[in-house]
Amino acid sequence: MEKVVINGTPRTELGKKATRALRKAGNTPCNLYGGKETLNFYAPTASFRKLIFTPDFRVAEISLDGKTYTAIVKDSQFEPVSDALLHLDFQELVDNVKVKVAIPLKLKGTPKGITDGGVLETVFKKLNILALPKDIPSVIEVDITSMQLGDIKRIKDIELPGVTILHAPSNPFARVQIPRAVKEEAAPTPAAAAAPAAGATPAAAPAADKAKDKK
């Protein structure tokens, strides 16, 4: 897992006035919980950019009061108009405690069904999982090269040792759709469906026609 170093400073003053002063000075107030105690600290807002504004899964390595804590972002608050970062909540990663995280899903390869005219449809950009810190992957990769026209990949098709995926096993995450043009091309025309097969014996005349011949 990629780590982003955050050099934090313990907060000695709490309350709205102190919080406004921190933000005005270019800092973001934060909480760190999940370990032995809850810690209040702040750090320069710019130091969180690589942690917040990215589609990748990254872990924070927080240096605080002579100690280092490994943590993940659990909640973030932004100013509704300017979209400025206002506050961050971190959860400390403890070796024997499972945590819930969202991990990017990467589909690897080009399905064979695409070369045959199909269209790839994806459902998830990230998957929610539950795992111990040592088992958390940076990305979940799934090879979809073998997918044919009409094939569907479901959550139950993903195997990750030590990881519980928090989505229904039957949920699809990728499918190769068959476009209407491809369906129409593959379907037989009405004339072709009605035409008798080569060498086939003509159907017997109706009983009424046979009766007329006898007369």
Q: What is the pLDDT of residues 87-97, one digit of tens each?
A: 999 999 999 99
Instruction: Give pLDDT tens digits for 156-196.
Output: 999 999 999 999 999 999 999 998 766 666 555 555 555 55
Confidence of residue 12 (pLDDT cuts 50, 70, 90): confident
Question: What domains sit in the chain, N to C, each tagged with a CATH number?
Answer: 2-93 (2.40.240.10), 100-187 (2.170.120.20)
Greater confidence, 20 or 13?
20
pLDDT single digits (tens) 131-152: 999 999 999 999 999 999 999 9
C-alpha to C-alpha distance for 121 and 144, rounded to whole angstroms: 12
What the block records as the tokens of 128 is 């929610």
What is d(CA 146, CA 110) in angstroms, rounded to the nearest whole number? 8
CA quadruple 155, 132, 35, 28: dihedral, nearest 10: -50
Q: Which residues of 48-66 are buried (b: 16+ CB within 10 A; e: fewer)?
A: beebeeeeebbbbebebee
